[in-house]
């Protein structure tokens, strides 16, 4: 029980630093005078760290173990947080993006240790519930973080926009923007200190020094000879995770830009990420009750995809605040997808769980790729068609995967014992 409580605290930290990206997109648009493509470099640099750092992070985690890996990850996150805040304060955007990349690298190391630890801590049939509980902690912090950021840093963003409009010279505009950008420095310094304190504390709380290979050995029966390669279903699941993370980030981080497009003010859009994450929190709470007691994991995954598609159509055809409401409710549809997909792919990977964990974390880079594709498509087809096309297609991929696995379970043709996850 104690390790799970500690893991929940770490998921709270993960959510806090991850879901700041939503209001950060609006912040950098104003502070640096950027368009959508430039502003969406924030999630792109952050999430591409998963792609490039997952393999080294996995190797390091296997070598030094979970406890030391967590402490090192938090130290890296503290460094990235500090670099980002200082560079934004000096209005140096490339340096700020570099800080986000360092932060993402530290978070990658944390992900490759925390997620498999929770997934492998009990039976496969209850894995979605355990990760959903972690998700509750993640999304509670994700709701709090944008609100705090908006209050501490962006509380006067409407006034900043007015002062920029009234500025009579380039120097006056620079003065307004410099003061606005500098507001981020102190909060990010405080975050860096908190991360370092948590890293130090975790080294002294008696967290078991669990290693990934030991966890996998406890989860699966011992076998002789080389482990078989991952099957097609596991590889397909990794692709689905890539697509899903892209949708989750697009819904959470892109909702502010979406709201601005349909006529909401900057003062209103700064809270939309928190509203979306509140929907995800409700989805986690609902999922922990329904899965697997009243609904199988695969059935719930399929229903979530269908619900997401319905909401996407609503957003496309409705207008104003009703369209934005449909986008924020995508959080409810997205909530249980990762808690189901992550342990499912680990189970399908068999004795290749360390490899699958690394690839799953690399697949998180979908959160950087899809928002950037969205930003590029806005100028070609418009915001609503770009959003609807990407999201509908992604939910279609998730739905097809869920239906394929359910068919395998019912037909009894899978050699991966999918029954425990159905």
Question: pTM score, two decimals?
Answer: 0.85
Name the residue among 384, 390, 374, 391 with its Cα closest to residue 40: 374
How far apart CA 166 and CA 183 sit, in angstroms, is 21
CB 244 within 8 A of CB 339: no
CB 300 within 8 A of CB 284: no
The predicted pLDDT at position 401 comes to: 97
Name the residue among 169, 146, 168 with its Cα closest to residue 157: 146
CB 44 within 8 A of CB 172: no
The predicted pLDDT at position 222 comes to: 47
The predicted pLDDT at position 308 comes to: 97
CB 262 within 8 A of CB 319: yes
The predicted pLDDT at position 322 comes to: 96
How far apart CA 301 and CA 106 sit, in angstroms, is 30
Name the residue among 35, 40, 48, 45 with its Cα closest to residue 22: 40
Q: Which residues contact 145 (CB under 8 A, 6 or more apart)?
A: 15, 16, 17, 19, 20
pLDDT in tens, the chain (422 residues): 677 788 788 889 888 888 888 889 989 998 998 999 999 999 999 999 999 999 999 888 888 877 788 889 999 999 999 999 999 999 999 999 999 999 999 999 988 877 666 766 666 566 667 777 787 888 789 889 988 998 888 877 778 877 877 777 888 888 888 888 999 999 999 999 999 998 888 877 766 666 655 444 444 444 555 556 778 999 999 999 999 999 999 999 999 999 999 888 877 888 899 999 899 889 988 988 898 888 899 999 999 999 999 999 999 999 999 999 999 999 999 999 998 998 889 888 877 877 888 899 899 999 999 999 999 999 999 999 999 999 999 999 999 999 999 888 776 644 444 544 55
**Under CATH, to which class is 2-220+227-408 assigned?**
mainly alpha
The predicted pLDDT at position 121 comes to: 62
The predicted pLDDT at position 120 comes to: 62
Instruction: Tell me the two tokens of residue 396.
Output: 């279609």
Name the residue among 291, 297, 338 with its Cα closest to residue 139: 338
Q: How far is CA 419 from CA 72, 87, 215, 407, in A?
A: 38, 51, 22, 11
The predicted pLDDT at position 202 comes to: 80
Domain boundaries, the chain: 2-220+227-408
How far apart CA 171 and CA 320 sit, in angstroms, is 36
The predicted pLDDT at position 15 comes to: 86
């Amino acid at each position: 029980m104690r390790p799970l409580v500690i893991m929940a605290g770490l998921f709270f930290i993960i959510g806090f630093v991850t879901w700041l990206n939503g209001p950060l997109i609006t912040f950098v648009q104003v502070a640096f005078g950027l368009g959508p493509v430039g502003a969406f470099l924030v999630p792109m640099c952050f999430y591409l760290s998963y792609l490039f750092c997952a393999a080294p992070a996995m190797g390091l985690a296997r070598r030094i173990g979970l406890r030391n890996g967590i402490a090192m990850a938090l130290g890296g996150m503290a460094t990235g947080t500090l670099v980002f805040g200082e560079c934004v304060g000096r209005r140096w955007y490339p340096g700020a993006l570099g800080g986000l990349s360092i932060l993402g690298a530290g978070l990658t190391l944390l992900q490759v240790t925390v997620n498999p630890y929770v997934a492998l801590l009990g039976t496969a049939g209850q894995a979605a519930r355990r990760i959903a509980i972690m998700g509750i902690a993640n999304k509670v912090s994700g709701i709090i973080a944008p609100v705090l950021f908006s209050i501490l840093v962006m509380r006067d963003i409407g006034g900043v926009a007015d002062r920029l409009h009234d500025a009579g010279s380039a120097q006056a505009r620079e003065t307004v923007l410099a003061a606005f950008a500098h507001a981020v420095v102190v909060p990010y310094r405080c975050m860096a200190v908190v991360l370092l304190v948590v890293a130090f504390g975790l080294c002294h709380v008696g967290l078991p020094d669990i290693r990934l290979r030991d966890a996998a050995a406890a989860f699966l029966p011992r076998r002789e000879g080389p482990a078989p390669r991952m099957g097609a279903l596991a590889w397909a699941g990794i692709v689905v995770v890539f697509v899903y993370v892209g949708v989750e980030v697009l819904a959470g981080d892109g909702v502010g830009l979406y709201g601005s497009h349909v006529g909401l003010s900057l003062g209103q859009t700064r809270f939309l990420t928190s509203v979306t994450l509140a929907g995800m929190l409700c989805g986690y709470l609902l999922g922990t009750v329904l899965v697997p007691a009243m609904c199988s994991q695969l059935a719930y995954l399929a229903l979530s995809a269908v619900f997401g598609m319905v909401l996407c159509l609503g957003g496309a055809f409705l207008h104003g605040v009703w369209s934005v409401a449909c986008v924020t409710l995508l959080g409810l549809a997205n909530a249980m997808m990762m808690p189901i997909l992550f342990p499912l792919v680990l189970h399908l990977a068999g004795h290749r769980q360390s490899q699958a964990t690394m690839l799953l974390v690399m697949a998180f880079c979908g959160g950087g790729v899809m928002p950037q594709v969205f930003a590029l498509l806005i100028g070609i087809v418009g915001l609503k068609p770009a959003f609807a096309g990407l999201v509908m297609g992604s939910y279609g991929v998730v739905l097809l995967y869920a239906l394929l696995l359910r068919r395998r379970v019912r037909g009894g043709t899978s050699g991966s014992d999918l029954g425990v996850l159905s």
